[in-house]
Amino acid sequence: MRSLLFFCLGQVVHGFGRGSKQLDIPTANFPEQVLDSLPADISTGIYSGWASVRSGAIHKMVSIGWNPYYKNVTKSMEIHIIHTFKEDFHGEILNVAIVGYLISEKNFDSLESLISAIQGDSEEAKKKLDLPEHLKLKDDNFFQVSKSKIMNCH
C-alpha cells in the first residue's frame, strides 16, 4: 500500500443507491465539491483510511472512484465505512482521512466478482490500517473538526 494523506470533510449526500441495495455494501457519498478539492493528479482507485460520522467513533474505511462496472461517466467519492450503523446518516458531516492507496480500479464481469473484490479490499484495508504508522492517524485532531469548517479535502 502506497502511503499518502488527505483529509476530507463534507456532508453525506445520496449516491446512486447501489451500495446498500445491490451490493449489500453501504457507502457514504461526498458531494462533488469535496471530490473537486482533491489534487487534480490523484489516481482513481481503492484507498484505505479512517472515517467518522458526526465527530463520533472512528472506523476503518475504503473508497472507490469511477466504478467501471457501472460505467459511471463522472468520478464519485464513495466511502465504505467498515462498520454497521443502526441508522441512516445522510446529511451528516463525514470526516475522512485517506492514508493509503491499495490498488487501481478495474472492471468486473459480474456483480458477484465486484462484491468479492470489495470484500477483499476491505480485508486488506483492515490489515494495513492496523500498522502503527496508519493506526496513529486514527487519533488525529482532524476528527474533532466541527460542521462550521468548509467542506473539502486538504
The set of catalytic residues is: 78
CA distances from 89 to 12, 43, 74 (A): 7, 28, 24
CA distances from 67 to 36, 62, 93 (A): 17, 13, 24
The Cα–Cα gap between 89 and 134 comes to: 26
